[in-house]
Structure 1
Amino acid sequence: MDTILDALQEGRLFELLDNDKTDALQFLAHIIEAFPEVPAGTDVVGHVMKREEAMNTALGKGWACPHARVPFDEDLKCVIGWSPEGIDYGAPDGKPVVLVVMYLVPENQRNHYLREISFLARALENYPGLDKLRKVEDLDDIRNYLLDLIDVSKEPSGPDTRARMIRLQARTAPETLVFQDLSNLIVEPVTLVAGQNTEPVVLTQNHALFEWLDSVKDLIGRIETEGVYQNGGWRVVRRGAVNYQGSRIVYDCVAFKLIQNRPEKYK
């Protein structure tokens, strides 16, 4: 399960703040679309949702592995989403999905992907610690759960040494943001407050992002209907929304931007 190890080592483990299946899938797919290896205009969201409509990708035991097959050659990659509350995914065992591992499957990696999914399915059948999945409290617990799963699974290719190295790095490294290893990707939390007959309020600590969002005329409409807005180099993805009295809605979003030369404050 080297692809999952890669995701853990490169900071591609995220908490899913919304337990809606569609929102969770779109959120993870938009993150994949931001990968520098993915050509501009690649509709990962469309590929994932089309596949999900054709066949439910839940494996059972709290896991789901949606994927997007894309017509170009690259490495097999994945992002991992953890839902603390669990997602009503329509799993075969009827249990909510807690872990969503979304794969990007390039043309040259289809056999690799099938081998990894096959091994993962066997690991889930045999791993004695699956009950721990519903007891985790944070991303560190999820990270350790996944490393334990890989440790005891004893894949023939032997990723157990890498798993131990990743665990050691996690213990010795100072506390940092989950996104620290994505060196060419800026990630900023954004809150949007919308109401009837009022201008939307943008809340973010990034000044340039604030100025851009504050000037966008159709921002709320796009976030509400499409769940994403992209322009000016930024991609803003809706993670969730809460309705309040007075017809006000607060949108919890995250903004991504790929850059060539990363400013020192983001390193």
Structure 2
Amino acid sequence: MSDTSLTIDNILSSQLTLCQAPASSKKRVLEFIAERIHYQDETLSESDIFSNLVSRERLGSTGIGQGIAIPHCRLDGLDRVIGVLMTLQEPVDFDAIDNQPVDLVFALVVPKEATSAHLELLSQLAEKFNDGAFCQRLRQCTDSDSLYQGMLADSQ
């Protein structure tokens, strides 16, 4: 994958946007991400995705503060970047840098070799989630469709 012009709107699908997901722990959030990606593409191993996400979390929490986490990992055999956006029914402890529980999650699963694209997307996400008003709008969404539209609204 040599495309470095990846943007949030071309890696996120409405099927992988989930409003008020039920998750009681960080582990459950990561399991839920792996389940959803596998459900969308059965050629991808749910256990591989989950174990790669967990391995990345062991290096340091992807909770970036202010109730936001951007779990991410690389995956062998993947030919595209996959994004998963979720708001959680109840905030969960994510070992975030500010010790605040997380209720807004954007997961990124990228091909093993997609390093610059991966970093560019993480940077775009961090910038978007740094906007408090933007995050507040996402948290106020009551269904997955409005959450999906809300995420993409500012990225055109």
Q: What is the TM-score when the length of structure 1 is the normalising length?
A: 0.49
Deviation by residue 1:130-183 (Cα, 9 ceiling, x = unmatched): 333433333234223312342xxxxxxxxx1xxxxxxxxxxxxxxxxxxxxxxx
Structure 2: 5+ residue stretches without partners: 1-5
Is 1:79 aligned with 2:84? Answer: yes
What residue number does 1:218 align with? none
Change beyond 3 A, Cα 1:41–1:65: closer
1:81 partner amino acid: M
TM-superposed CA distance for 1:28, in Å, is 1.0
Q: Which residue of 2 aligns with 1:13?
A: 17
Count of matched residue pairs: 149
Whose radius of gyration is greater, 1 or 2? 1
Output aligned runs, 1:1-267, within 5 Å.
Answer: 2-9=7-14, 11-15=15-19, 16-34=21-39, 35-38=41-44, 43-126=48-131, 128-150=133-155, 160=156
Query: How far, CA to CA, are the matches of 1:128 and 1:144 in structure 2?
Result: 15
Per the alignment, do residues 83 and 147 of structure 1 end up closer, same or farther by CA in structure 2, a change over 3 Å counting?
A: same
Q: Percent identity?
A: 23
How far apart are the structure 2 equivalents of 1:58 and 1:4? 22
Higher relative contact order (Cα pairs below 8 Å, separated by 6+ residues)? 2
* CA distance in 2: counterparts of 1:22 and 1:30, whole angstroms: 12
SS in 1 for 2:12: helix
Q: Which runs of 5+ in 1 are unaligned?
A: 151-159, 161-267
Shift of 1:36: 4.2
Change over 3 Å in CA distance of 1:8–1:20 after alignment to 2: same
| TM-score in terms of structure 2 length | 0.78
